[in-house]
Amino acid sequence: MTFEAVLEELRQLARGATHAHTGLWVSAQLRQRISAGQLAPGTKLSEEALGEALGVSRNTLREAFTALHAEHIITRIPNRGVFVAQPSAEDVREIYRVRRFLEPAAIMWQAPASVDELRDIVAAGQMARSRGDIPGMAAANQEFHRAVVARAASERLNALMAQVLAEMRLVFHAMGSDPAFHEPYLADNLRLIELVASGDNAAAAEFMRQYLDRAEAQLLAAMAR
Q: What is the pLDDT of residue 15?
A: 82
Domain count, the chain: 2
Q: Are residues 66 and 166 in the same domain?
A: no
pLDDT for 184: 84
Predicted pLDDT at 174: 59
> Is the domain of 80 the same as that of 93?
no
Does residue 69 sit in the same domain as residue 127? no
Same domain, 102 and 200: yes
C-alpha 148/C-alpha 104 separation (Å) is 9
Structural domain including 135 reads: 89-224
Percent of the chain scoring above 90 in pLDDT? 60
Instruction: Verify that 191 and 167 share a domain, yes or no.
Output: yes
> How does pLDDT run across 110-155, given as a tens digit for each residue?
989 999 999 999 999 999 999 988 888 888 999 999 999 999 999 9
Q: Tell me the pLDDT band of 223, cut-offs 50, 70 and 90.
A: confident
Residues 22-35 pLDDT 10s: 899 999 899 888 87
Q: What CATH number is attached to the domain comprising 47? A: 1.10.10.10
